[in-house]
Amino acid sequence: MNIKIEPRKPTDRGGYICMPLKKNVPEGHADWKPAKCPVCGRECWTDPAREFLVRTQGAFPLCTECALNGKARQEKECKAFLNACVKYVLISVLWMVLERIIYGKVQPRIVDDIIGLILFWYIFKSEL
């Protein structure tokens, strides 16, 4: 896995923003507030600058360990796969209902399966 660590630019959108762990920095700075990592639930610190980046740039706050070891990416891919499956099933059911209305019966065809797999791939990629 490749991780690119660099300062944020004003034009950046999304991505992860690291929060220091309380175990590494037991006494936070004056303007820091306690927070929890949304992936592992460990105690972290956040500050007004991080909160601003979350609101304005859509950054996703994580503890430093989760950001660096890829846990968040794995969790994101699992959620994306699940969301893609749900959307694919809904589209498939809608397609069968439309075939029933238009043709009077559901007609299983290979071309529908091929198009369905291509559609699933694009739905999955759009969820990532």
Distances (CA, A) of 36 to 7, 46, 78: 23, 9, 21
How would you classify residue 15: left for phi > 0, otherwise alpha for psi between -120 and 50, otherwise beta? left
Residues 65, 100: one domain? no
Q: Greater confidence, 5 or 39? A: 39
pLDDT tens-place string over residues 26-80: 988 889 999 999 888 899 999 998 999 889 998 889 898 888 887 767 777 888 8
Last residue of a domain, one of 28, 53, 69: 69
Q: Is the dihedral of CA 26, 32, 33, 38 positive or negative?
A: negative
Range of the domain at 112: 74-127
9 within a domain of the structure (yes/no): no
Question: What pLDDT does residue 72 have?
Answer: 67
Question: What pLDDT does residue 3 have?
Answer: 66
Check: pTM over 0.75? Answer yes or no: no
